[in-house]
Structure 1
Amino acid sequence: NQDHVSSAVHNGSSYGYNVENLGEQKIKEASDQFHIYTLDWSAEKIRFAVDGITHFEYDPSLKNADTWPYDADYYLILNIAIEPDVDPKFIESPMVVDYIRVYQ
């Protein structure tokens, strides 16, 4: 679904096929126009947004090694994930990134 954006956090309590910590957003022309994707990571929570609209906030009430391992350095992964129910006519689609800004 080219108008569908999702974000997830993977950790000891949510991984593999059991990922529960995720949010989704429908974005008109997500594949045809540039958008601003935001990951706001603080000591308390992680927030994901597109064009200023939050679609997922991860803020577990219990922060332990399984639910909150995010007090260490991590890699940022940007990718296109293809789900099993992809349109059979779909062949390929580029992921074009204008810029990435990382700051503290």
Structure 2
Amino acid sequence: MAKRRNEYHSLSDALKEFIGENRLEKGLEKIDARDAWIKLMGNGVNNYTTDVQLKGDTLYVSLSSSVLREELSYGKEKIKTMLNEELGREIIQKIILR
């Protein structure tokens, strides 16, 4: 059972401590990466996106349109930069479109 502490902490500090102690950073990064893709790519791309997964430092994006996959492949570096800016840190090093 966890120790009870009598000091007062802000809620954000308590959540950061909880996430750190329970090693939940990677899971939250996966969710943040998926949300960033949805936010940045818009409805046009999201209609053809079937799956977005972050494994390690690689973002795997499954698309149902081969034409869209080819078009996005030309701008992978720009997409990677935009996603990392949205996330606020360098999480994604590589994007694989499938």
TM-score by length of 2: 0.31
Q: Which has the higher strand share?
A: 1
Q: Which has the higher helix share?
A: 2
TM-score by length of 1: 0.30
Higher relative contact order (CA 8 A, sep 6+): 2
